Amino acid sequence: MRPSQPPKPAAWLLRHLAPENDALAGDLAEEFTCGRSSLWHWRQVAAAIAVSFARGLRGAAVCAGWAAMWTVFTASFGAWISWRILARRPGAPPYTAFPWPWSLIAEMTFDILLYTALAAPGVFLCLLLARRWSGRGFALAMGWVVAVLAIGENAAILTRPGVLFGVPFVSIHAPLNFVAMFLGLAIGTKRHNAARTV
């Protein structure tokens, strides 16, 4: 005798590996009860999972591409701003005039605020152009950007002044900005998708 419910492992896989397909799960269960075979059901589940995975890769590729492009912009603009500050006031940056630990705190705060200010328009434009804008998604994305920048900045400055794992920490800012933008965009777009499906 043929079972009246679709295979439970297939339903579980569809629910956990392609969670945006709730309507599809209902349609597949209905088709199964109307006489479709278990093999047909498994093929449909595999196809839905493959499509969901491809959409995730496409979204990650868009986020990575935008983050890479914006990182080049922020690195160039950040270097230009630093050069302008040092050109007006040759020698050490202004925040080094404070006594230690305040000079260190001022340097970290300046770098985090500068790169957050440069990342915010990039996150905003990416979410807007991808038609995934939501205020909560933007706030969540920027929260992740600031958190990654703060952690990276602390690691770069506090490990050894000027050097992180043998690499001057100036060169750490570009990959750090990329990771911050990529995570922020990936999480911000996921947040938008979750808000839209509710």
At residue 38, the pLDDT reads: 84
Buried b (16+ CB within 10 A) or exposed e, 104-129: bebbbebbbebbbebbbebbeebbee
Q: How far apart are CA 117 and CA 158, in angstroms?
A: 23
For residue 90, whether the previous peptide bond is cis, meaning omega lies within 30 degrees of 0, is no
The SS3 of residue 78 is: helix
Check residue 93 and give its pLDDT.
Answer: 66
162 backbone φψ class: left, alpha, beta (φ>0; ψ -120 to 50) = left
Among 146, 145, 177, which residue's Cα sits nearest to residue 70?
177
Give the residue ranges of the chain where pLDDT is below 50.
Answer: 162-170, 192, 195, 198
- Concatenated DSSP letters of 126-185: HHHHTT---HHHHHHHHHHHHHHHHHHHHHHHHHSTTEETTEEGGGGHHHHHHHHHHHHH
The pLDDT value given to residue 175? 80
Digit-coded pLDDT (tens) for 124-142: 988 888 778 888 889 988 9
Distance CA(117)–CA(177), nearest Å, equals: 12
Which of 80, 155, 85, 144 is closest to 116 using CA atoms?
144
pLDDT score, position 6: 83
Q: How high is the pLDDT of residue 169? A: 45
pLDDT attached to residue 164: 42
**Beta carbons of 141 and 188 less than 8 angstroms apart:** yes
Calpha distance 111→49 (Å, rounded): 42
Q: Is 158 left (phi over 0), alpha (psi -120 to 50) or beta?
A: alpha
Domain residue spans in the chain? 8-51, 56-197
